Structure 1
């Protein structure tokens, strides 16, 4: 389970403090964090996956308080338990797509072995219709292919929680349905909780468990 409690955050160049609502999502559950541009939803995502440090409050994943972990332990924990799909795909342009899939697990010294990583990457590339692009550089992929590669990289280590930041913001209705079905299917296959952060009102009907960020600055 992932849960947050009494989270607040303040940027160094701002006098406003952001106060976030509490929430919890059970193992294997799905949760929507909805908010307009500038509402603080991406900040909340970064707090929940340990990329930012909260001013107060805590985030727990399966009983582990992220704020209690040092930098090294947090990196290791995130590499083992968390997958993040950012709004804009970030790849090392000099590495092939398959090498990019390996990179996060290698950098965080994930428990998955190199042999398991190779098998898992091949399986994902086939399932996401990217096997013909395994040895291609990121610049040789279409935007849709890069998006699927980002999903593969986020779930290759079978994380406990998957975060997706604005996965449908620039998509039409048909593409939105395809991407969301893919995300939900892949999360279910690895037994992960899925947290979607978005301003896309079309997704409200898919998620009964959700929180809307409004007037969180004080």
Structure 2
């Protein structure tokens, strides 16, 4: 009789224990699933954060590169402006250029040039620039002597001074210059010697003097 009572009890215990075991397995499986899902979510979040950081770094790099380009561009523009301003501020003398010896205007009573010499001189080309100048004194061959890095010294000469020095053989009127004075330019070489002298009649006409003659130079 006791055995008959125990059998149902044992069966109920087995069923109860089996249910607990299954419940624990379900809980374990559920826990593992949740853990896996959490890990996946965390992994995705981390990947998203990494991508965001990378995009931010790339954006900052692009921004820095653009700023560098802008700064370089501004620097070049500023340099160009400064160079342009420097060139504009540089004053170019009006007598710089290439000139042709056109004709004799006047001469002193005594000169070092013959008519044959003057025929050789007329038509020659001369240059006045920052880098070079002609030399002209008392001989035709002087024109072949080039002065490098010449020094140009200006001064104002009156008509009375010219007339006095030439004993009235040469005056500004005879040179075709109106007025009582003219600008004279002396060309000095590296040894501080005068290589030649000329008067500035206008921007297209110079008067070269040397050896007692006065020659008209026309801008070429």
Higher RCO, 1 vs 2 (CA within 8 Å, ≥6 residues apart): 1
- Taking structure 1 as the reference length, the TM-score comes to 0.20
**Hey, which of these two has a bigger chunk of strand by percent?**
2
Structure number with greater Rg is 2
- Taking structure 2 as the reference length, the TM-score comes to 0.20
